[in-house]
């Protein structure tokens, strides 16, 4: 299944729940779990602030936090009847921290139809072998929110931008991806900031990213990777000097994994029987700039050169965390590394 369809279906799971709620269609129990907080938070926020009106919420909204809650109190709240309303809402946030959570099983098996119980179990999934999970599968709406894969992130960015009725240039999308990574909550906030500030513009460019988010369009991880690919040592050193003067722009812990991801993708091309530009397009998600950059990197370095780059990235990643190094500054490590790469 193409990446964009997988992203769409994944997002639609949360949107289906919200869509049902907006139509006043409710199930008694909702279980939200997984490593990706963004959609779980969206659903929980709606449940807390929009299912009940302000007058109803005063009597019929109960919020528990897993670290502080005990299962009898949660069950007792769920078994109460609503006051002056048709429904009550009981929320259990951060359920992964709750002791004896499996004892919710009896309530989930026979929930009160006038209660909407929503639990968020974040950072992981409930063990599918447990009795509670098996009961949830039979009696509840389960939403599993998986962490988005890095290779799907650009498509997610484009969809999020399109939802705001904007378009985004490929380079601008890369800048967001490289700088923010797969923190979807932060990414959504930055896209919101762009849409507010553009005021009528229809396309987000790298100039907009630089102006409103503060990511330099000339001195970033993407441009560093391109400079290394072209064996442009002077430009690579200039970019690293910018990082040195702006430590928050690209810390080494962000730079090295991003470079490794880029060059390891090029490395895999050597194993492909057809290395033509047309054959590489699907491999690079139909990004023509990424294809051209990959072909140029292969010409400039060859198989052994790319292998050497990957080994150096691993070696300097260890150095950056103090393995075999006595505290060399990050910028000095990066300068030393790119000299060895390009030489």
- Say if residue 172 is in the same domain as residue 305: no
What's the domain range around 156? 150-212
Per DSSP, 128 falls in state T
Q: CA Rg, the chain, in Å?
A: 25
Residues, the chain? 343
Q: What is the pLDDT of residue 295?
A: 93
Choose the final residue of a domain: 193, 212, 231: 212
pLDDT tens-place string over residues 247-269: 888 899 989 998 998 999 999 99
Residue 9: which pLDDT band, with cuts at 50, 70 and 90? Answer: very low
pLDDT at 92 over 90: yes
pLDDT tens-place string over residues 182-222: 889 989 999 999 988 987 778 999 999 999 988 888 999 98
pLDDT at 130 over 50: yes
pLDDT at 318 over 80: yes
Choose the final residue of a domain: 183, 212, 241: 212
Buried b (16+ CB within 10 A) or exposed e, 210-246: bebbebbbebbbbbbbbbbbebbbebbbebbebbbee
Q: What is the pLDDT of residue 154?
A: 84
CB 151, CB 69: distance < 8 Å? no
Distance CA 163, CA 267 (A): 35
- Say if residue 121 is in the same domain as residue 74: yes
Distance CA 64, CA 95 (A): 9
Instruction: Give the pair of three-digit tokens for residue 128.
Output: 């599918």
- Say if residue 116 is in the same domain as residue 158: no
Q: Is the dihedral of CA 264, 274, 222, 39 positive or negative?
A: negative
- Say if residue 55 is in the same domain as residue 127: yes
- Say if residue 191 is in the same domain as residue 271: no
CATH of the domain at 7: 3.40.50.300
CATH of the domain at 336: 1.20.272.10
pLDDT at 4 over 70: no
Distance CA 94, CA 80 (A): 22
pLDDT at 43 over 60: yes
Considering only 12-21, 75-84, 329-338, which range has the smallest mean pLDDT? 12-21
Choose the final residue of a domain: 212, 233, 266: 212
Q: Can you tell me which residue has the tokens 């007058």?
A: 55
Q: What angle do CA 188, 190, 194 make, to 5 degrees?
A: 115
How many domains, the chain? Answer: 3
Distance CA 100, CA 74 (A): 12
Cα dihedral 15→182→41→127 (10° resolution): 90
Query: Under 8 Å CB-to-CB from 165, ≥6 apart: which residues?
Result: 202
Considering only 139-153, 251-265, 279-293, which range has the smallest mean pLDDT? 279-293
- Say if residue 9 is in the same domain as residue 52: yes
- Say if residue 301 is in the same domain as residue 193: no
Distance CA 112, CA 270 (A): 60
pLDDT at 11 over 70: no
Residue 117: which pLDDT band, with cuts at 50, 70 and 90? Answer: very high
Q: What is the pLDDT of residue 240?
A: 96
Q: What is the pLDDT of residue 30?
A: 97
Cα–Cα separations (whole angstroms), residue 125 to 33, 88, 133, 134, 136: 5, 26, 10, 13, 13
CB 187, CB 148: distance < 8 Å? no
Distance CA 128, CA 135 (A): 10
pLDDT at 227 over 60: yes
- Say if residue 178 is in the same domain as residue 108: no
Q: Quote the percentage of the chain above a pLDDT of 90.
A: 71
Q: What is the pLDDT of residue 314?
A: 96
- Say if residue 195 is in the same domain as residue 283: no
3-state DSSP of 27-71: CCEEEEEECCHHHHHHHHHHHHHCCCCHHHHHHHEEEEECCCCCH
- Say if residue 326 is in the same domain as residue 233: yes
- Say if residue 66 is in the same domain as residue 193: no
Determine the distance from the C-alpha atom of residue 45 to the mean position of all C-alpha atoms in its chain, rounded to a whole number: 18
- Say if residue 118 is in the same domain as residue 85: yes
Looking at every residue in the chain, the average pLDDT score rounds to: 91
CATH of the domain at 203: 1.10.8.60
Q: What is the pLDDT of residue 309?
A: 97
Distance CA 301, CA 228 (A): 10
């Amino acid at each position: 299944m193409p990446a964009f369809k997988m992203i769409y279906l994944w997002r639609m799971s949360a949107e289906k729940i919200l869509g049902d709620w907006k139509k006043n269609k409710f199930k008694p129990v909702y279980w939200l779990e997984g490593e990706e907080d963004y959609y779980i938070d969206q659903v929980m926020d709606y449940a807390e602030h929009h299912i009940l009106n302000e007058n109803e919420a005063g009597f019929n909204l109960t919020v528990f936090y897993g670290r502080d809650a005990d299962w009898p109190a949660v069950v007792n709240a769920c078994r109460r009847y609503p006051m002056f309303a048709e429904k009550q809402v009981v929320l259990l946030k951060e359920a992964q921290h709750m002791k004896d959570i499996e004892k919710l099983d009896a309530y989930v098996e026979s929930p009160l139809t006038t209660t909407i119980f929503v639990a968020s179990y974040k950072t992981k999934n409930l063990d599918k072998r447990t009795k509670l999970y098996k009961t949830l599968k039979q009696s509840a709406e389960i939403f599993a929110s998986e962490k988005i894969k890095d290779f799907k992130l650009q498509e997610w960015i484009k969809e999020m931008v399109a939802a705001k009725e904007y378009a985004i240039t490929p380079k601008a999308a890369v800048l967001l991806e490289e700088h923010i990574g797969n923190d979807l909550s932060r990414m959504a906030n930055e896209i919101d900031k762009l849409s507010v500030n553009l005021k009528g513009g229809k396309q987000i460019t790298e100039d907009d990213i630089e102006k409103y988010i503060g990511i330099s369009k000339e001195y970033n991880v993407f441009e560093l990777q391109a400079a290394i690919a072209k064996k442009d040592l002077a430009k690579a050193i200039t970019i690293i000097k910018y990082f040195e003067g702006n430590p928050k722009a690209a810390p080494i812990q962000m730079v090295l994994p991003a470079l490794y991801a880029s060059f390891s993708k090029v490395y895999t091309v050597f194993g492909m029987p057809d290395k033509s530009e047309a054959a590489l397009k699907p491999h690079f998600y139909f990004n023509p700039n990424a294809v051209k950059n990959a072909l140029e990197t292969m010409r400039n370095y060859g198989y052994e050169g790319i292998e050497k780059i990957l080994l150096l990235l691993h070696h300097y990643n260890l150095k950056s965390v103090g393995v075999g190094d006595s505290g060399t500054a990050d910028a000095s490590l990066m300068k030393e590394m790119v000299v060895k790469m390009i030489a």
